[in-house]
Chain A
Amino acid sequence: MIPFISVLSRLAACLLFSPFLLGVIGKTKAFFAGRKGPPLLQPYYDILKLIQKGSVYSVTTTWIFRAAPLIFFATTLIASFLIPFGGLKAPVQFWGDALLFTYLFGLGRFFIILAAMDTGSSFEGMGASREAIFSCLSEIVLFLNFAALAVLSKSFSLSQMIGESWWASWTVSGPSLILVGASYFMILLVENSRIPIDDPATHLELTMIHEVMVLDHSGPDLAFILHGAAIKLFVQGSFFVTLLIPFQSHNRIIDATVFLAAMIGLAVIIGIVESVMARLRLNRIPSFITGAFVLALFGLIIAIMRVL
């Protein structure tokens, strides 16, 4: 049975805390650039402003354009049920929930791509086409990471794969976990459209991937997309944080605080990476993903060697 309070608090954490991560990233980048930067709560102001606006729809679009932000938002919310947050257990765990996790995001992405092509504009088509290929490649690397974790933990449920990383297993599988973590971090950057893959701040159509796909959305639709992207970063970041931080006291408050602090640390790291690297050329992005693939492969080989 799913405990009601844990589900509600999890939903609240996702909805309320995730835009804060975007604010932290913005502040870190501003710090590196020597500016003061937008306030930490800026993403909240943006979302609230957008909800209160009307929307403009193109005459070319169909119901898919209106439905896509809602489907995307719903998939990110449901995905947050499947993953443990640090020491806190996931409310829903079963064998193979990692597959549902990945494919839910795939469903949301499919509809956003359809909505982009729905507008009949070549800019959105460009972004849709690029997004499609890069996310397909990053899914391969993700499955390789799952394979390495499955070999190490002998199970295929997210809660067992990443939730049980005590110090003991670090001594056996340390290098493997570092490699999986590094590979997953690179995939995190690809999936959430951070530099060096995509610049979330620019609006030049020749360089964008995600920003250009949602060019035509406005008003509450854009609010859903922004908030959904923040929740996606939160949920996928929590995979990374839970993998690398093997901390579990059995007190919920301490676990939650440690987890949130670690997420803020992750946001700072992403901000630092964004500030010191430049965007890669579009035809170098497959090389980036291949690098993540080789790292994951290496981690898998070490895992097989250690466990057998």
Chain B
Amino acid sequence: MNTVWIDMALAVVVILAIGLLGTSRLGSIVRLFALQSFILAFLPFLLEGGIGIHKVVIATGTLIVKVIAIPAILFWAVRHVSIRRDTPAIFGGSASLLVGGFLIGLSFFLSSRLVLSGKPFSDLLIPSAFSTLFIGFLVIISRVKAITQVVGYLIMENGIFLFALLLFETTPLLVELGIFLDIFVGVFVMGIIINHIQNEFDHMDISQLTSLKE
């Protein structure tokens, strides 16, 4: 019975990633990321092993850092620079969706080729981890505004979190706390830099940063 809920949760995670590719409004992008992290926070509870202190700490950590704190920082950044849209530059709307679909197919293909030591509790886990990773990477490549780049990086982190679920029993709690601190500090620093860029240049386009070298 549990596998059904895990499967559905993983499917919803990838659906949200696809939705993120399709929208170009910054508010929606941040909200979709928050929703995705919310689902990921509760995912450890669906694994076997009962409710241990390990899982509760992870869940609370994810909730506080990725669902509440970081989206708050991002919304502050969005309001501060008052930009609303970030249309994909290299591909365009439909094309980035199609590339995302291709990457999902690729991740299913890759995961069928991997040889694992233990059997994962759901055969959708590795494909959705790969998919989220690839889609995060795609967001970083195809978008132009700095805030979306940050969200892309965070989605890659979500993908890595899904991989970490595989090794859940063996990862010490300290490592995961370290990861949380890492993310938090990283986003904080990025927020400060975004603020400074905005003050200095009046816009958020990273493509314009190349003009610095002249």
Contact = CB atoms under 8 A, between A and B. Distances in A.
Interface stretch (B48-56, B63-71, B97-105, B201-209): B97-105
A301 B104 contact: yes
Interface string A287-308: 1101101110110011001000
Given A174-B11, A295-B15, 5 more contacts: A171-B4, A174-B7, A288-B22, A297-B104, A301-B108
B18 A294 contact: yes
Main secondary structure of the interface of B (DSSP, over half): helix
B8 interface: yes
B120 interface: no
Output the residue of B14, B101, B124 with the most chain A CB within 10 A.
B101
A295 B21 CA distance: 12
A291 B18 contact: yes
Interface in B1-59: 1, 3-4, 7-8, 10-12, 14-15, 18-19, 22
Interface stretch (A39-47, A91-99, A175-183, A255-263): A175-183
Interface residues of A, number: 21
B104 A302 contact: no
A171 B15 contact: no
B94 interface: yes
A87 B93 CA distance: 40
Contacts, number: 63
A175 B124 contact: yes
Output the residue of B1, B14, B112 with the most chain A CB within 10 A.
B14
Contacts of A286: 94
B169 interface: no
Contacts of B8: 174-175, 178
A179 B15 contact: yes
24 contacts: A171-B3, A171-B4, A174-B4, A174-B8, A174-B11, A175-B7, A175-B8, A178-B8, A178-B12, A179-B11, A179-B15, A290-B93, A290-B94, A291-B18, A291-B97, A293-B97, A294-B98, A294-B100, A297-B105, A298-B11, A298-B15, A298-B104, A301-B105, A302-B124
A170 interface: yes
A294 B93 contact: no
Output the residue of B1, B11, B98 with the most chain A CB within 10 A.
B11
A182 B93 contact: no
B182 interface: no
Interface of A: 170-171, 174-175, 178-179, 182, 284, 286-288, 290-291, 293-295, 297-298, 301-302, 305
Which 7 residue pairs spanning A and B have beta carbons closest together?
A: A175-B11, A294-B101, A287-B93, A290-B94, A290-B97, A175-B7, A287-B94
B99 to A, nearest CB: 10
Nearest to B9: A175
Contacts of A182: 15
Contacts of A305: 108, 112, 123
A287 B22 contact: yes
B104 to A, nearest CB: 6
B123 A295 contact: no
Contact of A295 (B3, B18, B93, B112): B18
